[in-house]
């Protein structure tokens, strides 16, 4: 079975818990690499570690424009 998102990179805000975490898990299962952008560093790093080299965590507060702008250049 082909992975629908293989070779794609997804930036998921709020990705450390709840719907965001479920989205990371689903995208990873479909072959995407994920950038987990969230304020919850402990949960975000644990989730990234769970998915190995296909996910990274970046502490991000989407209410701070500079953090969002800088991360959009990744």
pLDDT tens-digit readout, 48-69: 999 888 899 999 999 998 888 8
Give the Cα separation of 19 and 59 in Å (integer): 17
Q: Is residue 29 part of a domain?
A: yes
The total domain count for the chain is 1
Please report whether residue 61 resides in a domain.
yes
Does some domain include residue 40? yes
pTM, whole model, 2 decimals? 0.85
Q: Is residue 52 part of a domain?
A: yes
**Mean pLDDT of residues grouped by 10 in the chain (74 residues)?**
86 95 95 95 95 90 85 62
Question: Which residues, 6 or more positions from 56, have their beta carbon under 8 angstroms from its beta carbon?
Answer: 34, 35, 36, 48
């Amino acid at each position: 079975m082909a992975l629908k998102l293989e070779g794609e990179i997804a930036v998921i805000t709020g990705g450390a818990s709840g719907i965001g975490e479920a989205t990371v898990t689903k995208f990873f299962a479909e072959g995407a690499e994920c950038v987990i952008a969230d304020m919850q560093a402990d949960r975000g790093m644990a989730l990234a570690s769970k998915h190995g080299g296909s996910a990274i965590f970046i502490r991000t507060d989407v209410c701070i424009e500079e953090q969002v702008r800088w991360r959009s250049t990744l």
